[in-house]
């Protein structure tokens, strides 16, 4: 099946720094990518929808200036957590897919720890 990769798989950073997370579809083109956030023992919560060549659509309560999303090509979306703080520590998961929901493919996730 299709493969989605995320990089890095984990990152530790100091408070106030910015962190970029990459999501790549390795063997297919993804017109839409989704970014989710998962807290321990919680559901995956959608943060934003990233569409190639257009601005991302953010869910209510998600700060677009803090979580910058760029989907510059059909195989790459990036999430940049700007001026990270300890409360941003979480597990970030991306998924990529086309028009049919059962063709959403998930990355392995990125564990972010902000000290």
Judged by beta carbon, residue 59 or residue 85, the one nearer other proteins is 59
Segment interacting with other proteins, rule: CB under 8 A, options 12-20, 41-49, 61-69, 75-83:
41-49
CA dist list (Å): 36 to 14, 59, 110: 22, 10, 11
d(CA 63, CA 39): 17
Does 31 help bind other proteins (rule: CB under 8 A)?
no
Does 16 help bind other proteins (rule: CB under 8 A)?
no
CA atoms within 13 Å, Cβ hemisphere of 39: 6
Residue in 13, 46, 68, 76 binding other proteins, rule: CB under 8 A = 46
d(CA 53, CA 99): 16
Residues at the site binding other proteins, with contacts judged by CB under 8 A? 1, 4, 6, 32, 34, 36, 41-44, 46, 49, 57, 93, 95, 101-102, 104-109
């Amino acid at each position: 099946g299709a493969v989605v990769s995320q990089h890095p798989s984990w990152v530790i950073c100091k408070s106030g720094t910015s962190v970029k997370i990459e999501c790549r579809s390795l063997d297919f083109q993804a017109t839409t990518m989704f970014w989710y956030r998962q807290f321990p023992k919680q559901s995956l919560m959608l943060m934003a929808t990233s569409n190639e060549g257009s601005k991302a659509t953010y869910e209510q309560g998600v700060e677009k200036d803090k979580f910058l999303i760029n989907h510059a090509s059909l195989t790459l979306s990036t999430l940049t957590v700007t001026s990270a703080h300890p409360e941003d520590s979480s597990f970030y998961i991306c998924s990529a897919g086309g028009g049919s929901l059962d063709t959403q493919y998930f990355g392995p996730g990125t564990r972010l720890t902000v000290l």
